[in-house]
């Protein structure tokens, strides 16, 4: 039996992930110690209320409300409380005391990342956050380290399991959004207030973290363009299937050239998009996540796995804990993050994408030419037009007219031009209604 | 313009990958310097013959035959010569001089890994080798670091692009093995002597590296069971398709319980296998690679990308170079690999797997019961039997008999029992021939 010195571990938070971390540390502590060359001693778990009911099997004698004393005694602090405060203050206290910090707090990193990384660098400590994007999927180290010698062109990520579960149900089972959401709630995939997921807020936080890593530049979460899935209809999903696409909520981070100045910049955005069924992301079902990375030298890469779940996320936290502990054993300061590229963040209008636009138009001679004209006036080139066989009578203003359905897929253009095209179509005399607008991505 | 101190980089080898590394360093040196906080100065490229013809666009004034002097002047040595000697001696010299080493030499690591890692640990240097398994796919850091707090149960890897290209052609286009191999050779995927690829030797080296990382135990390459794809026929691929499978050459590393002692051990093996078309590995086409990892806490993960190619592999090498350079800038020793689990390596006979066995049997009453008896006598349980509609007359010894085709898929059993079953079937009076035996994996 080898005797190791013990590293003191403080855990902040005993929720879903925290409880799993405590339990796995208890079960596999000896095995982890042998990998690290030091014991990993959980010295305490900071909670708001030590007497609260807890279903998890954790040693209650470790519970304390005195987070600050706990932090000061620790070599490594694991923050799994979530939220901005007091998590931010505790992490800063831990770093200033020289402790390494492991966190899964994507909201905090998306909002205060630069402050926290700077604090870590000043004292030579290190901040680990594999659990903050992609859950159990190892994506932080690949982006930060493995691809650090390459130039990332684009990231397309399915980074929210709840919305992927919902969209997959709509695609595979033909559910409506409400039906799929109700099922996701029953199964525990969706919170009772699902806004963070279905509104795209969670995905936007992850997009900010991934874009920062991929492009070595600060990316505030406010700069991430965001649309959720609440507007996605069963008809859109069905029409996507007929056209060889599947609807996915994508977090897209890419290098963009400013169409006016020609300068290089970056863009980060979250929105539903049509993805070809032949693209590897189309095969990501249920609540699984995947991050597809296009790099100049490495080519196309994909990282696939569970994006959430207490046990799965605990795996990422413990991997960070082992890294931090190995570094303590080896000695030497942490390695800083690099934000030195300082690429400007371009607005959504400057992004290049493709639109699939579905229109109800007047069913009369010459209408297609008039519609095509709207696209060319806005500098948008049309790739394909599909006209539905049937037509129907709709009431438009006071008179009624017979209409046909047009599904138009554009070539790539700027979002600004595409958006202007849709506005012009909506006001066009021959257009009864614009029934669907979806971006097409991943080609 | 920021002025950095320069780190001195020595490159050993100017082949396909080496030339790309030199070129990318030249093109993106400033960008990489800003990520590292130090300049990356390529001080020389050691080659056997400075006057040899070179198609790559590299600065000939950097070429030298004096590798040893070059190594002694370097902070970081990149070894891309391949082969065992002099690569091994040069890497040891570099490590003993205190330089970090980046290598993509899987043959060397599979054979002399422990010696090299020990040398690195003794002097506090670090050995990086992301390019040695999975080409451009970041798999080393995820296994070594991200999953270090978890317990890997199994790895199923498509880790050889040449064989995946060949098997994919056979599956998608109906090519024979020879046709697909000829095409792979024409396209430059296969070497003029393709033995290392199609014999499974390359995959076995990668399996040894992945198993060592996943299970924190020394795994000599000789202990990896190995079958290549040379025996895979167009009929097997076609029959696999009809049964909902695809044939892939898999590198499988798994935790195994010794069926006799009950002790935990590990197994590493490379062989063609039937993979369900619903498994994510089935969607890995062409020369792409993917590593599917099953971990206790993290669940199922997959890492997908280009497994070979000069430019793609150079991305992995440069990622390692940036990691090494960042560590030099931060200071402090390297972090050692952990081999402390010391799990025993169990032979192929103790592995649990499933067989799909195709037999030509005498087309007469009662034969199925007699065949089924062979399985039960060997303790192997049958999951499904499919009998072909047609039957044909074959000459067996001096007499001829009418036969039927049986395709039998077993439940999981030990390889020893399955192998004994096949031996018994081959000698059975009612069996004209055993036409195919394939393992079924990934269920």
- Complex-level ipTM: 0.91
pLDDT at B2 (0 to 100)? 58
Q: Do B341 and A311 touch (CB under 8 A)?
A: no
Give the torsion sign (CA, B158, B160, B163, B166).
Answer: positive
Distance from CA of B234 to the nearest CA of A (A): 25
Q: How many CB atoms lie within 10 A of CB A263?
A: 11
Q: Which residue of A has its CA nearest to B36?
A: A338
Q: Do A304 and B303 touch (CB under 8 A)?
A: yes
What number is the average pLDDT over the span B133-142? 91
* Statement: residue B292 has pLDDT above 60: yes
Determine whether the annotation assigns residue B15 to a binding site. Answer: yes
Supply the angle between the helices B177-186 and B161-173 in degrees, to the nearest 10. Answer: 130
What number is the average pLDDT over the span B341-347? 87
Q: Which residue of A has its CA nearest to B217?
A: A35
Strand-pair partners of A7: A40
pLDDT at A190 (0 to 100)? 85
Q: Is A59 exposed, middle or buried (0-12, 13-18, 19+ CB in 10 A)?
A: exposed
Q: Is B144 on the interface with A (CB under 8 A)?
A: no
Q: pLDDT band at residue A45, thresholds of 50, 70 and 90? A: very high
Q: Is B31 on the interface with A (CB under 8 A)?
A: yes
Q: Which of A98-107, A290-299, A332-341, B374-383 has the lowest mean pLDDT?
A: A332-341
Q: pLDDT band at residue B399, thresholds of 50, 70 and 90? A: low
What number is the average pLDDT over the span A420-425? 96
List CB contacts (< 8 A) between B102 and chain A.
none
User: Among residues A8, A153, A206, A288, which one is catalytic?
Assistant: A206
> Number of residue pairs across A and B with CB atoms under 8 Å?
212
List CB contacts (< 8 A) between A318 and chain B.
148-150, 297
- Domain A140-306 maps to which CATH number in 1.10.1740.110, 2.40.100.10, 1.10.357.10, 3.30.360.10? 3.30.360.10
pLDDT at B313 (0 to 100)? 94
List CB contacts (< 8 A) between B304 and chain A.
280, 301-304
Domain with CATH 3.40.50.720 in chain B: 6-132+311-330
How far the first Cα of chain B sits from its last, in Å, is 56
pLDDT at B392 (0 to 100)? 55
Q: How far apart are CA A165 and CA A248, in angstroms?
A: 10
Q: Which of A149, A158, A326 to mutate to test the interface with B (most CBs of B within 10 A)?
A: A149
Active site residues of B: 206
List CB contacts (< 8 A) between B295 and chain A.
136, 315
Q: Is B199 on the interface with A (CB under 8 A)?
A: no
Side-chain-facing half-sphere of A348: CA atoms under 13 Å: 14
Q: Tens digit of pLDDT for each residue in A221-230?
A: 999 999 999 9
Among the partner-chain residues A20, A145, A319, the one whose CB lies closest to the CB of B148 is A319
Q: Tens digit of pLDDT for each residue in A263-303?
A: 999 999 999 999 999 999 999 999 999 999 999 999 999 99
Q: How far apart are CA A401 and CA A392, in angstroms?
A: 8
Q: Which residue has the higher pLDDT, A332 or B169?
A: B169
List CB contacts (< 8 A) between B146 and chain A.
130, 138, 140-141, 316, 319
Contacts of B77 (CB under 8 A, 6+ apart): B9, B10, B12, B71, B90, B91, B94, B99, B100, B101, B102
What number is the average pLDDT over the span A175-182? 97
Averaged pLDDT of chain B:
92
pLDDT at B210 (0 to 100)? 96
Q: pLDDT band at residue B190, thresholds of 50, 70 and 90? A: confident
Q: Is A312 on the interface with B (CB under 8 A)?
A: yes
Residue A256, token pair as written in the block = 């963009």
What top-level class would CATH report for the domain B6-132+311-330?
Answer: alpha beta
Q: Which residue has the higher pLDDT, B257 or B66?
A: B66
Q: Which residue has the higher pLDDT, B389 or B121?
A: B121
List CB contacts (< 8 A) between B142 and chain A.
138, 141-142
Q: Is B3 on the interface with A (CB under 8 A)?
A: no
Domain with CATH 3.40.50.720 in chain A: 6-134+311-330
Q: Which residue of B has its CA nearest to A139?
A: B142
What number is the average pLDDT over the span A26-50? 93
* Statement: residue A392 has pLDDT above 60: no
Q: Is B4 on the interface with A (CB under 8 A)?
A: no
Q: Do B297 and A280 touch (CB under 8 A)?
A: no
Q: Which of B168-172, B298-302, B342-346 has the lowest mean pLDDT?
A: B342-346
Q: Is A222 exposed, middle or buried (0-12, 13-18, 19+ CB in 10 A)?
A: exposed
- Residues B240 and B246: beta-carbon distance below 8 Å: yes
pLDDT at B4 (0 to 100)? 72
User: What backbone phi and psi angles, to 5 degrees, belong to A112?
Assistant: -125, 20
CA angle, A180 then A182 then A185, to 5°: 110
pLDDT at B135 (0 to 100)? 85
CATH architecture for the domain at A351-441 = 2-Layer Sandwich (3.30)
Q: Which of residues 377-416 of B touch A (CB under 8 A)?
A: none
Q: Which of residues 257-276 of B touch A (CB under 8 A)?
A: none
Distance from CA of B30 to the nearest CA of A (A): 11
Q: Which residue has the higher pLDDT, A387 or A290?
A: A290
Determine whether the annotation assigns residue B350 to a binding site. Answer: no
Q: Is B123 on the interface with A (CB under 8 A)?
A: no
Contacts of B348 (CB under 8 A, 6+ apart): B225, B267, B269, B415
CA angle, A149 then A155 then A161, to 5°: 130
The SS3 of residue B291 is strand
Among the partner-chain residues A150, A305, A332, the one whose CB lies closest to the CB of B298 is A305
Q: Which residue of B has its CA nearest to A148?
A: B319
List CB contacts (< 8 A) between A215 and chain B.
none
pLDDT at A388 (0 to 100)? 76
Q: Do B299 and A136 touch (CB under 8 A)?
A: yes
Determine whether the annotation assigns residue B301 to a binding site. Answer: no
pLDDT at A400 (0 to 100)? 63
pLDDT at A394 (0 to 100)? 53
What number is the average pLDDT over the span B23-32? 93
Residue A280, token pair as written in the block = 């590897």
Q: Do A321 and B149 touch (CB under 8 A)?
A: yes
Domain with CATH 3.30.360.10 in chain A: 140-306
Q: Tens digit of pLDDT for each residue in B242-261?
A: 999 999 999 999 999 887 88
Q: pLDDT band at residue A399, thresholds of 50, 70 and 90? A: low
* Statement: residue B223 has pLDDT above 60: yes
CATH architecture for the domain at A6-134+311-330 = 3-Layer(aba) Sandwich (3.40)
Distance from CA of B428 to the nearest CA of A (A): 44
Q: Which helix (H) or strand (E) holds B132?
A: none
Q: Is A335 on the interface with B (CB under 8 A)?
A: yes
Q: Which of B32, B297, B331 to mutate to test the interface with A (most CBs of A within 10 A)?
A: B297
Q: Do B301 and A340 touch (CB under 8 A)?
A: no
- Edge to edge, the sheet with strand A100-103 lists A63-64, A39-46, A6-12, A76-79, A100-103, A127-128
In Å, how far are A187, A259, B110 from A335, measured between CA atoms?
A: 40, 36, 29
CA angle, B112 then B114 then B115, to 5°: 70
- Residues B276 and B282: beta-carbon distance below 8 Å: yes
pLDDT at A179 (0 to 100)? 97
Domain with CATH 3.30.70.260 in chain B: 351-441
Q: Tens digit of pLDDT for each residue in A342-378?
A: 888 998 999 999 999 999 999 888 899 999 999 999 9
List CB contacts (< 8 A) between A36 and chain B.
338
With pLDDT > 70 as the criterion, what percentage of chain B qualifies? 96
* Statement: residue B398 has pLDDT above 60: no
**Alpha helices of B250-405 — where are they, by DSSP H?**
310-330, 367-377
């Amino acid at each position: 039996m080898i005797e190791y010195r013990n590293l003191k571990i403080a855990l902040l938070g005993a929720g879903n992930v925290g409880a799993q971390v405590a339990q796995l540390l208890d079960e596999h502590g000896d095995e982890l110690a042998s990998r690290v060359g030091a014991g990993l001693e959980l010295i305490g778990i900071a909670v708001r209320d030590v007497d609260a009911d807890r279903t998890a099997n954790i040693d209650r004698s470790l519970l304390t409300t005195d987070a600050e004393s706990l932090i000061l005694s620790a070599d490594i602090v694991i923050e799994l409380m979530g939220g901005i405060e007091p998590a931010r203050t505790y992490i800063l206290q831990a770093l200033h005391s020289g402790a390494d910090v492991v966190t899964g707090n994507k909201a905090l990193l998306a909002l205060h990342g630069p402050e926290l990384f700077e604090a870590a660098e000043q004292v030579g400590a290190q901040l680990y956050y594999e659990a903050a994007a992609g859950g159990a999927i190892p994506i932080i180290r690949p982006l930060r380290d493995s691809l650090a010698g390459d130039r990332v062109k684009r990231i397309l990520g399915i980074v929210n399991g709840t919305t992927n579960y919902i969209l997959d149900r709509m695609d595979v089972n033909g559910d409506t959004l409400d039906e799929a959401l109700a099922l996701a709630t029953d199964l525990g995939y969706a919170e009772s207030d699902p806004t963070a997921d279905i509104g795209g807020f969670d995905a936007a936080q992850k997009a900010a973290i991934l874009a920062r890593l991929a492009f070595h530049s600060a990316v505030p979460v406010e700069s991430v363009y965001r649309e959720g899935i609440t507007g996605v209809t069963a008809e859109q999903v069905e029409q996507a299937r007929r056209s060889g696409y599947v609807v996915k909520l994508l977090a897209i981070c890419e290098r963009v050239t400013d169409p006016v100045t020609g300068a290089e910049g970056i863009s980060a955005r979250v929105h539903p998009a049509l993805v070809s069924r032949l693209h590897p992301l189309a095969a990501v079902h249920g609540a699984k996540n995947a991050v597809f990375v296009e790099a100049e030298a490495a080519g196309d890469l994909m990282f696939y796995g569970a994006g959430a779940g207490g046990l799965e996320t605990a795996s990422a936290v413990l991997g960070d804990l082992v890294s931090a502990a190995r570094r303590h054993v080896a000695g030497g300061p942490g390695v800083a993050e690099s934000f030195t590229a300082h690429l400007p963040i371009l607005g959504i209008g400057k992004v290049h994408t493709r639109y699939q636009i579905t229109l109800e138009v007047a069913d009369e001679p010459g209408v297609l030419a008039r519609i095509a004209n709207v696209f060319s006036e806005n500098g948008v080139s049309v790739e394909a037009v599909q006209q539905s066989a049937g037509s129907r009578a709709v009431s438009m203003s006071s008179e009624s007219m017979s209409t046909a359905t047009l599904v138009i897929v554009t070539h790539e253009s700027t979002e600004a031009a595409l958006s202007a095209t849709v506005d012009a179509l909506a006001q066009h005399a021959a257009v009864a209604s614009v029934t669907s607008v979806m971006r097409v991505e991943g080609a």
